[in-house]
Amino acid sequence: MPVFDPLPSAPSATELPLHLWGREAYEVEPWGDTWQIGYNSHTWLLQLDSGRHVLKAVPRDQGVKFASGLEAALLIDGQGVPSGAPLRTVDGAVAGYAGEWCWALLDYVGGTPADPADPEQLALVGRTLGRIHTGLRELPPLPGVMTWGRLDWLLVEEPFLEGRPWIQQAIRESLAALPDELTVGMIHCDPRVTEFRIDQGRAGIFDWGEAMYAPHVFDLATTLSFLDDDVDSKPFLSGYLTESVISAEELAYIPAALKLRAGIEAWIYARRLHFGVDLGQQGEHTNATLIERARTNIAAAELKDRTSYLP
């Protein structure tokens, strides 16, 4: 989920602070069909003497949360899932600061984007996400991340929500529908299928900038929210259950998690619209259209019941 406050001026590609890693020479490569601008970040594809890497910059005030996501990625990468893990700076940190930005130099995750229309790849994505949740199960809430049970700020009266009471209504209702007994832990928070890369039968994932401490079903809801209506979700969920630590019964709460995800997205895009933040939006996507997409997703979630995703 993207940053929603005004952002500093974009860094210059000619002044990348590779000195943070004791590097000087670098070559910027074109991204090709991969976006180089995220909703709260800038990235550069670099060729260094050690191979291909990604340099990522997020606003300085997001640095603590950014570093926490990188720590999670480093842990998962060490368990055999390519995760765009960070290279340590000369000071031994997962990220460093220069100017108005926090920077990380990351491993490049190779392969091709997972295909939602391929049931075998969907199952592989599900198994990989299950491994990720299992691998992070012992981590406590990391510094700076959104944390389950501490989301009351989403229900505070805000000027950018004027005329949109449905946003906080959806958040309030879905929070009430999600029980305390759900399995929680550090999650990726943006594991859409196309964020996974398939290479020689193995799946990896990148972009850990929005990592969160929340119910595992919230990650499942995020993946499902980006699948087209004609995609069968069963391979994904079946694959997930083979590697995860949750029981199938928790899948009954995916509809409530879908509604919560959509409500929070609407909150964020309403704030971005209010402050004129549009970084990362391409083509037909604007804050206004994304608010309406979220409203449509809330309505769709409300049509589902607790049996919709059970095996």
Residues 279 and 142 reside in one and the same domain: yes
- How many degrees, rounded to 5, is the angle at CA 131 between CA 127 and CA 136? 150
Q: Which 3 state secondary structure label does DSSP give 224?
A: helix
Per-residue pLDDT at 226? 94
Residues 188 and 266 reside in one and the same domain: yes
- pTM for the model stands at 0.94
| Percent residues over pLDDT 90 in the chain | 84
Residues 104 and 125 reside in one and the same domain: no
Strand partners, 102: 58, 97
Distances (CA, A) of 302 to 13, 164, 248, 258, 267: 45, 18, 21, 9, 18
Q: Is residue 35's pLDDT more than 70?
A: no
CATH number (domain holding residue 68):
3.30.200.20
User: How many CA within 13 A on the CB side of residue 135?
Assistant: 20
* Domain edge (last residue) among 49, 77, 109: 109
Residues 100 and 133 reside in one and the same domain: no
Residues 133 and 216 reside in one and the same domain: yes
Q: Is residue 33's pLDDT more than 60?
A: no
Residues 98 and 247 reside in one and the same domain: no
DSSP E strand stretches across the chain: 27-29, 42-48, 51-59, 96-98, 101-107, 112-113, 184-187, 196-199, 202-205, 212-215
Residues 267 and 134 reside in one and the same domain: yes
Which structural domain range is residue 74 located in? 18-109
Per-residue pLDDT at 14? 81
Residues 61 and 119 reside in one and the same domain: no
* Domain edge (last residue) among 109, 137, 153: 109
Stretch among 74-88, 268-282, 291-305 having the lowest mean pLDDT = 268-282
The mean pLDDT of 40-69, rounded to a whole number, is 93
User: For 70-111, what is each residue's pLDDT tens digit?
Assistant: 999 999 999 999 999 999 999 999 999 999 999 999 999 999
Residues 78 and 32 reside in one and the same domain: yes
Per-residue pLDDT at 5? 58
Residues 145 and 247 reside in one and the same domain: yes
Is residue 7, in this structure, part of any structural domain at all?
A: no
Is residue 309, in this structure, part of any structural domain at all?
A: no
How far is it, in rounded angstroms, from Cα 119 to Cα 231? 9
CATH number (domain holding residue 239):
3.90.1200.10
Per-residue pLDDT at 1? 47
Count of residues for the chain? 311
Cβ atoms of 211 and 72 closer than 8 Å: yes
Residues 61 and 125 reside in one and the same domain: no
Is residue 8, in this structure, part of any structural domain at all?
A: no
Cβ atoms of 38 and 280 closer than 8 Å: yes
Q: Which 3 state secondary structure label does DSSP give 298?
A: helix
Instruction: Sort strands 101-107 and 42-48 into parallel, antiparallel or unpaired.
Output: unpaired
The whole-chain average pLDDT of the chain stands at: 93
* Domain edge (last residue) among 79, 109, 139: 109
Tokens, residue 285: 């996507």
Is residue 225, in this structure, part of any structural domain at all?
A: yes
Residues 141 and 72 reside in one and the same domain: no
Higher pLDDT, 272 or 282: 272
Cβ atoms of 271 and 198 closer than 8 Å: no
Q: Is residue 34's pLDDT more than 90?
A: no
How many domains does the chain divide into? 2
User: For 174-195, what is each residue's pLDDT tens digit?
Assistant: 999 999 999 999 999 999 999 9
Is residue 12, in this structure, part of any structural domain at all?
A: no
Per-residue pLDDT at 11? 82
